[in-house]
Amino acid sequence: MKNISLFIKSKNVILLLISIIISSNVYSQKVKPPVAIYDFTYNADLAYREYLPSIKQFVTSAFQKSNKFTILNRSSKEALIKESELTKGADYFLNKAVKDGKKMGARYLVTGEVDRIDLEKTTSGEGIVTYGAGFSFLIKVIDPETNVLIATEQISSSVGRGMFSALSAASSTPGAAVDAALKKIEDKIEKFIYKSFGATDIKVIEIIAQKGIKIEKVLISAGSGSGLKKGTKLEIFTPTETIVNGKKETRKKYLGDMKVERIEDENFSVCEIVKGGDVVKEHYDKGLPIMAKQEIK
């Protein structure tokens, strides 16, 4: 009987440990907002439109590399957009994309308008053929739920073109020239993402200072590499799961506010809690995950 009792207790302890490990893994995973990236619209007289997919793919890759979002993929049938629709105008296509984005459950919708795509062929005195490329497009971030434009920026690039093309990185094929021009704007897209979305789903990893029932300072898992700087304001939350219409949803429960006091390096910063220090401590003492995000300006 004693052995049975010990077995039951041991079994309960093991189950408890498994539960703690599973819960820890669930909360350690970042809650990434879903993003739908759509084809960019263009005018009917746009030249070299065969390179439009390259622009969209480059933007998609930039959002993936930021590690801030879950990129929503449509099926081949749903992703197929008729050329006639892409040339009907930005308003027509945007309304269609917003409706589709809602159905997909996208938190953000990324699209844009391509103004121009240029290719320039140059033949040297030795008969060597090289290509230069340039383009310009307007990128947009929209909240499909409210149809509100969150951010927009005009992006342009040019490589191997004009009177100084011989001194530039001219390419041996048109496709390589377009890729080189896209590569040139990599930093611009990265800065646009940080500026538009700020730093999201940052972990509070250590308590630096507390007074009584309030936490005053914390160490967070984000630094200059996430676009943070001294004085940056962050919202503190804890992720909780709830069931909505039979579907499991993650809710970010607001706990308080803090601001960056000191940037330690690319990955860490010290923050001062300016509101909700007692609430944060209450949740922290319960072992709940404490996270933060930068508000979109």
CATH number at residue 285: 2.40.10.410
pLDDT value for 197: 77
pLDDT value for 17: 44
Rounded distance between C-alpha atoms, residue 234 and residue 259, angstroms: 6
What confidence tens digit (pLDDT) does each residue in 201-218 have? 789 999 999 999 999 999
pLDDT value for 196: 79
Lowest average pLDDT, out of 89-98, 136-145, 167-176, goes to: 89-98
**End-of-domain residue from the set 197, 215, 230:** 197
Lowest average pLDDT, out of 24-38, 44-58, 272-286, goes to: 24-38
Rounded distance between C-alpha atoms, residue 115 and residue 94, angstroms: 16
**End-of-domain residue from the set 171, 197, 223:** 197
Residue 225 domain boundaries? 198-294
Q: Is the pTM of this model over 0.75?
A: no
Rounded distance between C-alpha atoms, residue 241 and residue 157, angstroms: 44
Could you tell me if 128 and 57 lie in one domain?
yes
pLDDT value for 276: 96
Is 185 among the domain residues?
yes
- How many domains would you assign to the chain? 2
Q: Which residues pair with 28 in a beta bridge?
A: none
C-beta separation of 273 from 217 below 8 A: yes
> In the predicted model, is pLDDT for residue 20 greater than 90?
no
**End-of-domain residue from the set 163, 178, 197:** 197
